[in-house]
Structure 1
Amino acid sequence: MITENQILFSTQTDSSGYFEFKGQLLSEKDKLYRIHSNINTIKGLQLVSDNEKSNYYNFIFSNRDTIYFSKSGNNWFSESKNSNLADKEWRKLKSFEESLEKNNAQIKNKEAQQQAANDFAEKVKAYSEKNLKHPLLKLLAFSDIKRNDFNLKNDFEKNEPFYDAVSNTLKNYYGETSYYLQYQDEISKISNVILQQKYAFQKKLNYTLGTLVLILTFISIYQFRKLKAFKPKKAIQGTSSLALTNQEEKITKLILEDKSNKEIADELFISLSTVKTHIRNLYAKLDVANRHELTAKLKNHPWD
């Protein structure tokens, strides 16, 4: 992710193993480079031993710096002297990461391995925020985290400012170049996955809410129609808002016809005392004191 795979220089060593690169192709800004030697036996000189995988060396460099490799046995790149300050900080980061990985190397349980990967990522992130200022070092720390079995998507959702800060420092230092663009591409992929999941959830939620609203609407319409279909008992216009019972309505009509209490009782087949009780209730509901007031109140108000 952080190499451009571009060969800048190529040369051959002399019989003593000496080589030197000079030129203007190196960047003025700190970048990650790799020096690589082909395994061969030119003039009896073996550049790397057969059992070593040390025929390359990664380092941070710029055209303001110098680096010197001293030959140590058959391993050309085991010792180096680099004037680049970011490279020195990178070595400290690598040493810190190696100590974490060494402690996790013996873990065999898958669940414990996952927890170890999470711990590694959190500790490297904390180290990065506290000790690393150079944007390239933050990018290299991110690359090391990404290589482990670590759920970047979940971490991005919980700690998006950390990843945004890396993006901003890369853009400020490198501009719209490969380091920034490739990192931003990685982060954009993660962000897009999260957005798609949120969109799918929101769509499902909207569908559920829409269905619920539709159901409630149907219930409301049903209740309204049911209420509208209900017809209350007829009452006399102008009477109190208190509804009269069927018996009270009958007695009221008979009173308006000037029937006596005895005639009302006989016609309705009820006792005289019952008639008197209904009449008292009528007086209370219609707010009148006697038959005369009741008749006066109702004579101009025909039945519905």
Structure 2
Amino acid sequence: MSARRVVVYWTAFSVILALLIVAPLVLPEFWRRFLTEILIWGLLAMSSDILIGYAGMVSFGHSAFFGLGMYGAAAALLLVKPPDLWLAILYGLIAAAGVAAFVAYFATRLRDIYFAITTLIFSQIFYVIIFTWTEVTGGENGLTFGRPALAIPGLFSVPFTSETLHWFVLAVVTASYLALRRITQSPFGMVLQSIRENEARTRAIGYPIERYKIAAVMLSGLFAGLAGVLYAIQNRFAAPDFVFFLISGEVVIFNVIGGIGTLVGPIVGAAFFLLLREGFSRFFTEYYLIPVGLIFIAMVIFMPQGLLGFMRRWLNQ
């Protein structure tokens, strides 16, 4: 990357970050919470991009990592008195990492569509367990921790309001992006991209492909679980619907819309999709998915590199 592009990149990054910091001070309550939710879904999509965009492994199991992160956080908030934010994050990450390790051990032995189907099956297995294990997970109703969550101390023991929660989520998402960006530019990230481009040649060079794939799935699952923790903290509940494979499908759509293999693109894709869904649902009610689907098809045909790729080409003209 040239020096000029580096300056432009970090300038744009700083401006966007400053706008996101100021946003909760000027937005009404609904849009403040909506913006926070976009950041959370963006983090989930970004975690998926590690597999889809960098390792070339399409996963439909991210709903399991996301949902288990939610349930881990909910369990901590319900069992520990007074509620502790850091324990909730720890429990959620442990739950997501454990599931990711289990899925990775079996799924990474397969390639291409077989890997995708295997991750989908695992997500459905966890969905059925959570849906039917009523005594522990609350079954169909999930786990709700309601008002006590408002007493969770935030950063520096500041109680969470909608503004402070937004800033906390923004800080976590920003730190996650910078960490993942550094990882993808490291030798580990280069090997993942080599696996994506030519797995047989990467294996022939001497790299232990299976180990790199397992590490990629676990890393991706860890950040997906972190997104689940943030979602649970914001909405004060965990439900089996978030473990269902449709969530994984939406995450893949976020990546395709925004731009695969960019980290920033999935966040842009999540924002675009959620804004579309919110806008059309007000006019088309239960039929809102029809115009959203038509726009998505048009974007896949005319902007196959996603919104971020389209903007890059437009700026380079």
Provide the TM-score with structure 2 as the length reference: 0.20
Give the number of the structure whose residues are more often helix, by fraction: 2
> Who wins on radius of gyration, i.e. which is larger?
1
Give the number of the structure whose residues are more often strand, by fraction: 1
Provide the TM-score with structure 1 as the length reference: 0.21
